[in-house]
Amino acid sequence: MNEPHHLLTIIKAQQEAIDRLMALVQERKQPEPAKRKERRERPIDWLTISEKERAAAWRGLAAFVESLVFRYGLQMEIQPCWWRHAEAVEELTALWQVRQNAFGENATLGSGMQWQNAFHSSRKRLSTMFGSCRSGHIDSTVTMWMTEDDRKAFDHAVENGL
């Protein structure tokens, strides 16, 4: 009689240990919603990004652009000087972030199609951004937009109530 009681005690102790382990496993499987939000990345804003984040963002964007060019055969649409064109950098950054979101942790079944729609819309805009660079990069950045006289006239207009 003593032996069955001893076996029941052992089984009970093992079941309690299993229950504690299962509780620990469940706790680790379900992260708190607040913790998930903390890990969420913010969109890249090239006008305000810190120097510390800038290099990593450029490397990530460059890897994305290169994979995009080869995956979709965009060698004729996106020129190698893409990084010198502010408009293209902004467009490609937005596209990169849409793709990250579409295939990220919170993606839905429709996210892949949303990515495709965004890509094809962006592709049309990108095709017009490198018109002057077909045979090599041509700098088209504006070095001066308003002359000093234009600025003075603007300041005067603002001071006098436009």
**What is residue 15's predicted lDDT score, i.e. its pLDDT?**
78
The pLDDT score that the predictor gives to residue 3 is: 72
Secondary structure of 6-35 as H, E, C letters: HHHHHHHHHHHHHHHHHHHHHHHHCCCHHH
Task: Give the pLDDT band of residue 31 (cuts 50, 70, 90).
Answer: low
* CA-to-CA separations, 89 to 52, 61, 111, 158, in angstroms, rounded: 19, 9, 23, 33
pLDDT the model gives residue 76: 85
Site of tokens 């892949």:
112
List the chain domain ranges: 2-29, 50-133
pLDDT digits (tens, 9 = 90+) for 36-62: 443 447 899 999 999 889 999 999 999
93 has pLDDT over 50: yes
Q: Which residues contact 85 (CB under 8 A, 6 or more apart)?
A: 129, 130, 133, 140
**Burial (0-12, 13-18, 19+ Cβ within 10 Å), 94:** middle
